[in-house]
Structure 1
Amino acid sequence: MTEEVEQRELKAPTTYEQQIQKFKDRKMEIESESEAISILKRIHYYRFTAYALTFKQDFSDNYIEGTTFNKVYKHYLFDAALRNHFMEIVEYIEIAIRSQVSYKLAHNYGALGYMDAANFSNPLFHQRFIEDLHRSIQKQRREVFIVHHRENYQDRYPVWAALEVSTISMMSSLYKNLKIADKKAIAREYYPSRHVSYRELDNWLHVLTVFRNRCAHYSRLFNYRIPITIRYTRNDESLKLDKAFLFGAILNSKYVIGDRSMWSSWVTGLSSLIEAYPEVDISFLGFPDKWDDLLRNQ
């Protein structure tokens, strides 16, 4: 006989005033109740409290002494700005890996060689990729280049056109499923001076996909621990960096971004962003001491 599991009652909805009182009951200082309510009307209570969790006392529902509503709100604003800034890295890498993989596939197997499972490591993974690709093509069926190939080439798309509708998640899966010789060739040809192995690149694309998806859904980066282990280069392993926070993805990105001017400018922008929010403890994002030097040094 199956034992019935007792279901807990869901919490009842609360008014903005009740939400403010909850914060106050848990020892959070509210500088201005009217301003706090105005913020909660735009950022609902459940999302806001995700940022407040960092400031909870151990083994208590109360907040650490000195925690204010505005301090938590500053963390929210910082996180939103950081997501936008980080997406500049993702865009650069996503476009670059599309170019590199499509070039390798085209020259090794021909314009339509990506359709043949024999050119990849795992046929099942290849089938899933092709299905995802077809769905992406259908979603963007009104794009000029898709209409062109549908009307003039019997709905056939060369790899350099097909991958234009792929996401970084799809590109991560595609790179992972390349033959090892092809993965090694891409790492060797495009990242020779940085000694990036195909295993590292495989991991980094996966990591970027997870963080990118959080950014796309406006999810929290602050104090977020990624559910996969971030790999580092052999030299960086000696730094004993955390392997689950955003800084790992940022540090590894410096090896993938070939435009040094762009990278330097991006790091400068990151530094300015952090300076604008002195309330934020960036160690909760995995940032170590002298993080700026680590990002700028080659």
Structure 2
Amino acid sequence: MGVRYTNQAITTEQQIEILQERGLLIDDIEQAIDVLDTISYFRLAGYWKHFEIDHFTHQFREGSCFSDIVKLYSFDKQLRALLFTAIQTIEVSVRTKIIKHFSPGFGAFWFMDETFALNDARFATNLAVIRKEVSRSHDDFITEHFRRYSEPDLPPVWKTLEVISMGTLSKLYSNFSDATAKHAVAREFGLNHHKFLRSWLECLAVLRNCCAHHSRLSNRVFPVKPKMPERMPNKWITDFSFREQTLYPQLCYLVYWLNSIIPDNTFVVDFKQLLIKYPSVNTRLLGFPYNWEQEPLWR
């Protein structure tokens, strides 16, 4: 049984004093106060954890600077923005391809038909979530649909799939029973098997939530590891010695996926420019191997 939390709120100036007592170098106190008044102490704490020599006492390594922590935070913020733009492109394309390949053979309401589901319990759960998500939508094409139609109780798939969450879309694809249709969608993205797309969709839903909720990407341990095929039809990686739960494999599948949709996209160039802008950021914090820039995917 845990102990009762009794700590009281402290001022920004007291937060600064604590950091200095732990060995953090702060050159400009006023600027540090402005930062902590804008970005909360515990949001920044995730970034300075890497600078600590002892995670129990929270003592900092010698020479650790508050300014470097702020730079890491700024890098992370801009990286999330870059990722979110790419994720939007992928997400819209996935919805479109699923509608394209599933609807002609399985009808306008296949997502409401349990005969097309691998698992009945997951089907029921997914459908309940879909109903909630559609009911919350204020998109014009949804409200207009309900003004005109009363049956079935949900719009057709080409409307419904546009308003459900990425997580729900991932689960819907995963639980669909027809492997041929799922393979057809996967091949649109340069994947040889639907199991890879299923894995990447699951991971993308988590990554999207991290970006949408301003969560830290640097030095993050992701709960879901993407399946990483050794061979791909298009430019891919050759070295698989990276740590599986870091950001690096997440970025690899995202770049490959984005390349399949927009071959002339600038994501890799933009990412490298971001690293140049923040030279103090160590790519090892993102799980990148030493030779990552030599990989065909990242050239």
2:269 alignment partner in structure 1? 268
- CA RMSD in angstroms, aligned pairs only: 1.9
2:45 alignment partner in structure 1? 49
1:255 alignment partner in structure 2? 256
What is the TM-score normalised by the length of structure 1? Answer: 0.90
2:172 alignment partner in structure 1? 174
Cα distance in 2, alignment partners of residues 43 and 24 from structure 1: 18
Q: How does 1:203-242 map to 2 (within 5 A)?
A: 203-235=199-231, 236=237, 238-242=239-243
Cα distance in 2, alignment partners of residues 237 and 173 from structure 1: 30
Q: Select 2:160's aligned residue among 140, 159, 162.
A: 162
Shift of 1:248: 0.6
The code of the aligned residue for 2:110 comes to G
Q: Select 1:105's aligned residue among 102, 107, 126.
A: 102
User: Does residue 121 of structure 1 match 2:118?
Assistant: yes
Q: Percent identity?
A: 28
Cα distance in 1, alignment partners of residues 71 and 239 from structure 2: 34
Cα distance in 2, alignment partners of residues 295 and 131 from structure 1: 43
The code of the aligned residue for 1:54 comes to H
Q: Give the number of the structure whose residues are more often helix, by fraction.
A: 1
Cα 1:229/1:58, change in 2 over 3 Å? same
User: Does residue 138 of structure 1 match 2:140?
Assistant: no
Cα distance in 1, alignment partners of residues 220 and 2 from structure 2: 31
What is the TM-score normalised by the length of structure 2? Answer: 0.90
Give the match's secondary structure for 2:295. helix
Greater Cα offset, 33-42 or 95-104: 95-104
Cα 1:18/1:9, change in 2 over 3 Å? same
Cα distance in 1, alignment partners of residues 89 and 46 from structure 2: 30
Shift of 1:149: 1.2
Shift of 1:297: 5.9
Cα 1:238/1:81, change in 2 over 3 Å? closer
Shift of 1:165: 0.3
Cα distance in 2, alignment partners of residues 122 and 237 from structure 1: 36
User: Does residue 87 of structure 1 match 2:84?
Assistant: yes
Give the match's secondary structure for 1:57. strand
Cα distance in 2, alignment partners of residues 26 and 7 from structure 1: 25
Aligned length in residues: 289
Give the match's secondary structure for 1:212. helix
Unaligned residue ranges in structure 1 (runs of 5+) = none
Unaligned residue ranges in structure 2 (runs of 5+) = 232-236
Query: What is the CA deviation profile of residues 197-226 of structure 1, one whole-angstrom value per residue up to 9, with x for unaligned ones?
Result: 211111111111111111111110110010
Shift of 1:233: 1.1
Query: What is the CA deviation profile of residues 235-289 of structure 1, one whole-angstrom value per residue up to 9, with x for unaligned ones?
Result: 35753222111111111123322234443x1111111111100111111111223
1:31 alignment partner in structure 2? 27
Shift of 1:101: 1.2
Cα distance in 2, alignment partners of residues 238 and 93 from structure 1: 25
Cα distance in 1, alignment partners of residues 215 and 255 from structure 2: 24
Cα distance in 1, alignment partners of residues 4 and 192 from structure 2: 50
CA contact (8 A) 2:220 2:246 kept: yes
1:289 alignment partner in structure 2? 290
